[in-house]
Amino acid sequence: MNEHSTLTDWLRYQAITVWDRIAFCRRQPHTQVFETTLTQNLVFQFYQLGKRARLGVTVYESAHERRNGNDLELVFEVDNRWLHVPCQCKILHQHNRYGGINHQVQGQLQLDLLLEYATRTGGLPVYLLYNHYSDPTFNESLSEHWKIPIEEFGCSFISARYLKEQLFIDGRIKAPSFSDLHRPHDQSALPFSALTTLLTQNGIHQFIHRYQTNTHPTDTPPAVFLRNELDIDGWDRLLRPAAIGRIVPLRGPTPILSLSGISTSFAPRYRLVFSAEMKERVLYRIE
């Protein structure tokens, strides 16, 4: 296929790769795939994208050893400000449940720790879901609703606050299924390619509005930061500055997103920083 690929196309390709990777492992009796592996693979692909295409994406790894490889921080440039999106990654298990959503850290739900972190940092918390689902009837319906191949739901994302409200029943979190979170309706999870909407003010507003409910009228409005307020202390750049271009590791005098200043167990291993030029810029030619 000889065509140019935008960031949206590139995200579609990564989602399809995750869908196929999980499907392959599930067919093999002695092969497994884990959230950490898929997250590391995804981070590496962004690393390669920044290195080869020389675009406005910067990849950082935490300098702290005790960090969770399933946790990410995504940072988007929006009208010369920066939106912080803490992100927890969960895989759909073979029995069709996101069992990891029930995971606790020292007696606290991981979901609650993510929400606490987002509240303290002014972030927009999301869950990044790694999927493969083998119900042909449901998949056909979902694919028809979105007008995209079902494989593009290999990665999807959803509001963490909405998820907490919908799943917290009688003091417990019910582990959702793929169909619970992707049923074709206005508040289902979004395909990975829709991540580009968070590069615009209108897209952020639409994302927040999407997950409004009668009991949860709105998500907490996210904060946006100046570039010099975006704390880089505690993070090691994985790309040389010359490989990216215009984003440089500035340090503000009063860091807002300092790792050391947040007393929470949400501990992201990686931070991905996206400049606004990523949204529709040509990335590379697919042969």
Residue 225: how many CA atoms within 13 Å on its side-chain side? Answer: 24
* Alpha-helical runs (H) found in the chain: 7-27, 35-53, 110-121, 136-146, 160-167, 178-182, 201-210, 241-244
Q: Label residues 76-113 b or e (16+ Cβ within 10 Å = b).
A: bbbeebbbbbbbbbbbbeeebbbebbeeeeeeebbbbb
Q: Kindly report whether the global pTM for this prediction surpasses the value 0.75.
A: yes
Token pair recorded at residue 282: 């040509």
Phi then psi for residue 130, to 5 deg, are -100, 125
Q: Report which secondary-structure segment, H or E, holds 225.
A: strand 224-225
Instruction: Going residue by residue through the chain, which has 287 residues, state the pLDDT in tens, using 9 for 90 and above.
Output: 344 477 888 899 999 999 999 999 999 988 899 999 999 999 999 888 877 765 678 888 887 766 666 789 999 888 888 888 999 999 999 999 998 888 888 888 889 999 998 888 888 999 999 999 999 999 999 999 999 999 999 999 999 998 888 887 776 778 999 999 998 877 889 999 999 888 888 888 888 888 876 555 555 567 777 766 665 556 666 544 333 333 333 333 233 444 444 444 788 888 898 877 665 555 554 43
Q: What single letter denotes the amino acid at residue 168?
A: F
Q: Report which secondary-structure segment, H or E, holds 29.
A: none
d(CA 6, CA 229): 29
